[in-house]
Structure 1
């Protein structure tokens, strides 16, 4: 079964837009899990424009499912993760000023750097995942870094699927098959939605986890958070 990890960055964005503590990030994280969500994902950025570093600490006592922290492994991020020791850390090569993640790692060019970072997390019993584009060379490179999993960057798939191009899933299928052969786990995320998640899941062998935030929160405005979490769970089953 593919697990659903809910990215709650957008809840923090909404809270920060007015100051104060509404909506309450910790309560949303608790509710998502009570509604059946199987993990909580956050992506703190250096400017703390949505998730704050303090949020990451506060969530540790609330998340009783899987806790996934995403980010670029700058020294401050590495220190944060080592202090919290979440279930999983997902390494993303986003620039400081990036609106959202927009590319995967070049796991060949950055092999030594990633090996060093991942080995430190492994020593602390934190599962590691690397955000990658659907390129077989990058999957092979990810294996060489010692990562436990990859997270397939799915924006290209989502964009083409919305145009009716079902062939866009093929590179992802091939990369997932390769990852399975290399004994590295497969996660996925970015622009996955209720419209495309079932088709994507059916075509990705061994898909362990999807991380969904923007679409899920947007859909919840119309349909309600509890309903949307369970709609995803239904489609993933």
Structure 2
């Protein structure tokens, strides 16, 4: 019985330690934008990964070159993730225009947790990544490229931020793709029905079919038809990609 209690205590301690580790916190709060590939840019014959925010390795390298020591580095990270602003941005107006201003993590992470994330980025990021490293190839990204080429500029690329009410919210030119997918999944009963709706709507969009009603049409306008731009096979691949990956 004593051994069992000791084992449970050890497991609990290990779980808490993992939950508070910088790596775990980064994976929960940061990786989806800063390290997960959402597509590829094939211009110039070279495949370049596309992210929803500046790639974390580039960001770390850039910030280390702009700071004198670890203390200054971690101080910047902690300050920026709690109070992001255009003035503080490492990448200037171009990045803000491309990615939007990141949402604040104030109230999401404690001071101890934000310190853990900053320390992890400075000391350990990338050391264990090779084991799980995947290579993005042209074959792997066909469907995602279709979304990037035909839909992302309106449905995924932030064009600004709304700071009303003290909360930073990205602004898009159309309903955000993750929200669209979530809403459509809630209103369809199967993958086939989801795919059928997407294919029909992108080819023949109409106010009557809109998931968001008159308010969204008034705010964003009716999306242009992709009829003639995508083959039936491509529109199917695009719909499958949305269902499975967003």
More strand by share: 1
| TM-score past 0.5 threshold | no
* Larger radius of gyration between Structure 1 and Structure 2: 2
TM normalised by structure 1 equals 0.28
Looking at both structures, which has the greater relative contact order when contacts are Cα pairs under 8 Å and sequence separation is at least 6? Answer: 1
